[in-house]
Amino acid sequence: MGGKVITITSGKGGVGKTTTTANLGVALARLDQRLLMIDADIGLRNLDIVMGLENRIVYDIVDVIEGRCKLRQAMIRHKTFPELYLIPAAQTRDKTAVSPADMIQLTDSVRGDFDFILIDSPAGIERGFRNAVAPADEVVIVTNPEVSAVRDADRVIGLLENENKGPGQLILNRVNPEMVRRGDMLSADDVTDLLAIRLLGIVPEDETVVPSSNSGIPVTLNDNSRAGLAYRNIARRLMGEDVPFMKLGESGGLFKRITRLFGGRNG
Amino acid sequence: MQTVAIKGVKDGLLISLNESEEWQGVLADLAARIDQQSSFFVGARITLDVGTRPVRRDELGSVKALLERRGVVLHAVVSESSTTIDSASALDLRANLMPNTPAAEHSFTANSEEDGTAGVMIRRTLRSGRTVRSEGHVIVFGDVNPGAEIIAAGDVIIWGRLRGKVHAGAYGDESAFVCALDMTPTQLRIAGYISISPKDKRHKPKPEIALIRDEHITVEAWR
């Protein structure tokens, strides 16, 4: 069977798919996993920037699929982690340059060489989404604690269920515990109550995330970052470890509710 | 007996016009019914049942025009009168000589219990973007999330939380009801009535039923 293909998707744009993919990739690499990351957002290539690998791109995924290079030639090795590779998206083409069957064939041809293959899905529910989801063994849905993002996540989960890829697991990104405490933001409870899928992790809002992404050093590598810790915990959960949910904020309001909801399962 | 009876049929709506009332009065009632609930009628394929009444070509033409002005297409005519059938043929409408069936006597839109009531059972949560349409009743064993929609000619029963949109009695059946274990729909419609859930932060989930009472949608405990 070989490596597990995990697609990271969301429906809505801007919720942190690429940041999540990059951080989970680095976190898994730190756990000595052999890893391939694929940027499926053709035409809007980003994952290479967040990973700090932009200047090493020679070939991209469309070159592989159209036969202009070998798969190995398009795989960029990470600077720090020798077992972490990235296949970048093409910047000049669009989603129709790749088909769902191409994606299945591509991942099947390298499954044996890796423990995980992470696919960064584009926003939306059209061709690009279908390409990204087609080869997935598991789907991770990223959402923010906002009604519109949750609504789109719900739609995506419905589509995944239709494709027998569902229901997937959820990452709730950019949670501000103080705002949740004041009742100005949806809580993890509110979100999981509606979506009714397994919560893989909660990532707190953190000022270190944006500068890390901009400099191409995912925040997971910063041991003082709370968001980084959240991503490391999620990576361990993806490997099947039972990691308790971290305590968000000092107020305890959210924490109490989370432990009440998930304590039994994650104790 | 009412002057105008409306029934949902497989390929559209069957409108039965009372055969003994005065013709102009019947037409006025028909126009009023459509104007009251125009959203259900617009785009619908109409079969007109005029019973034994002989309808002249100009009279049938005026019904057709009346419907067309309201965005409704007259598709076929059912009658026991050969005069009416001739008028329909002259207007290029499908025409059927058919004895008046007892089913046309009441306007209940789903089949009766004896026929085996039509309905659909959905054994999962309806998520955002899903629309379910039924000529009969709809039963959901799961939640109806915001962004999902159910449109049924009959009743809607949700064994779960209702947070999306529901339209029961969509062809005008005012006896239709909606019930759910937790009733907080985005929008609720029964026949031609419409209501939205009050914003209540201290909302406690409880089984409730929505139905039409005194020309309003009322929600009460479901027991």
Over the stretch B147-167, which tens digit does the pLDDT of each residue have? 999 999 999 999 999 999 999
Judged by phi (left if over 0) then psi (alpha if -120 to 50, else beta), residue A221 lies in: alpha
Chain B hits for A152, CB-CB cut-off 8 Å, are: 128
With CA atoms as reference, report the closest residue to A10 among A227, A231, A160: A160
A157 and chain B: CB distance < 8 Å anywhere? Answer: yes
Q: B147, A155: Cβ pair inside 8 Å?
A: yes
CA distance B93 to A105: 55
CA distance B107 to B113: 15
Q: A154, B130: Cβ pair inside 8 Å?
A: no
pLDDT value at residue A27 = 97
pLDDT value at residue B82 = 84
Is pLDDT above 50 for B133?
Answer: yes
pLDDT value at residue B7 = 74
Beta strand pairing call for B12-17 and B45-51 = parallel
A126 and chain B: CB distance < 8 Å anywhere? Answer: no
pLDDT under 70: residue ranges of chain A = 1, 249-267
Is pLDDT above 70 for B193?
Answer: yes
Query: How many interchain CB pairs under 8 A, A with B?
Result: 28
Chain A hits for B163, CB-CB cut-off 8 Å, are: 194
Closest Cα of chain B to A141: distance in Å? Answer: 15
CA distance A203 to A144: 9
Q: B163, A155: Cβ pair inside 8 Å?
A: no
pLDDT value at residue B107 = 46
Chain A hits for B130, CB-CB cut-off 8 Å, are: 158
CA closest to A11 among chain B residues:
B128
pLDDT value at residue B105 = 38
pLDDT value at residue A176 = 95
Is pLDDT above 80 for B202?
Answer: no
pLDDT value at residue B42 = 72
Closest Cα of chain B to A124: distance in Å? Answer: 13
pLDDT value at residue B183 = 95
Confidence (pTM)? 0.71
pLDDT value at residue A218 = 95
Per-residue confidence band for B223, with pLDDT thresholds at 50, 70 and 90: confident
Closest Cα of chain B to A43: distance in Å? Answer: 27
CA closest to A183 among chain B residues:
B201
pLDDT value at residue B115 = 66
Is pLDDT above 70 for B101?
Answer: no
Chain A hits for B123, CB-CB cut-off 8 Å, are: none
CA distance B73 to A59: 58
B145 and chain A: CB distance < 8 Å anywhere? Answer: yes
Task: Report residue B198 as tokens.
Answer: 């009050």
Which B residues 173-212 touch A at CB under 8 Å? Answer: none
Q: A151, B128: Cβ pair inside 8 Å?
A: yes
With CA atoms as reference, report the closest residue to A4 among A243, A239, A241, A242: A239
CA distance B146 to A147: 10
pLDDT, one tens digit per residue, over A36-58 is 999 999 999 999 999 999 999 99
A182 and chain B: CB distance < 8 Å anywhere? Answer: no
Stronger pLDDT, B42 or A148, i.e. the higher one: A148
CA distance A20 to A227: 10
Q: A158, B124: Cβ pair inside 8 Å?
A: no
Amino acid at site A80: T
Judged by phi (left if over 0) then psi (alpha if -120 to 50, else beta), residue B213 lies in: beta
Closest Cα of chain B to A154: distance in Å? Answer: 6
Is pLDDT above 70 for B108?
Answer: no
* C-alpha pair distances (Å), B39 with each of A91, A246, B43, B47, B73: 46, 51, 9, 18, 14
B128 and chain A: CB distance < 8 Å anywhere? Answer: yes
Closest Cα of chain A to B115: distance in Å? Answer: 32
* C-alpha pair distances (Å), A125 with each of A13, A115, A130, B207: 11, 27, 7, 35
**Cis link prior to A167 (omega < 30° from 0)?**
yes
Q: B145, A194: Cβ pair inside 8 Å?
A: yes
CA distance B125 to A167: 11
CA distance B29 to B22: 11
B63 contacts B93 by C-beta, under 8 angstroms: no
Is pLDDT above 80 for B8?
Answer: no
pLDDT value at residue A261 = 55
CA distance B128 to B165: 10
% of chain B beyond a pLDDT of 90: 36
B43 and chain A: CB distance < 8 Å anywhere? Answer: no
Mean pLDDT, chain B, integer: 84
Q: Distance from CA of residue A41 to its chain's centroid?
A: 13
Q: Distance from CA of residue B173 to its chain's centroid?
A: 5
With CA atoms as reference, report the closest residue to A79 among A227, A215, A230: A215
* C-alpha pair distances (Å), B106 with each of B18, B144, B199: 12, 31, 38
Q: B147, A161: Cβ pair inside 8 Å?
A: no
Comparing B35-44, B48-57, B89-98, B184-193, which segment has the lowest mean pLDDT?
B35-44
Q: B129, A161: Cβ pair inside 8 Å?
A: no
A159 and chain B: CB distance < 8 Å anywhere? Answer: yes
B127 contacts A154 by C-beta, under 8 angstroms: yes
Is pLDDT above 80 for B104?
Answer: no
pLDDT, one tens digit per residue, over B46-83 is 888 888 888 888 888 888 888 888 888 888 888 888 88
Closest Cα of chain B to A196: distance in Å? Answer: 9
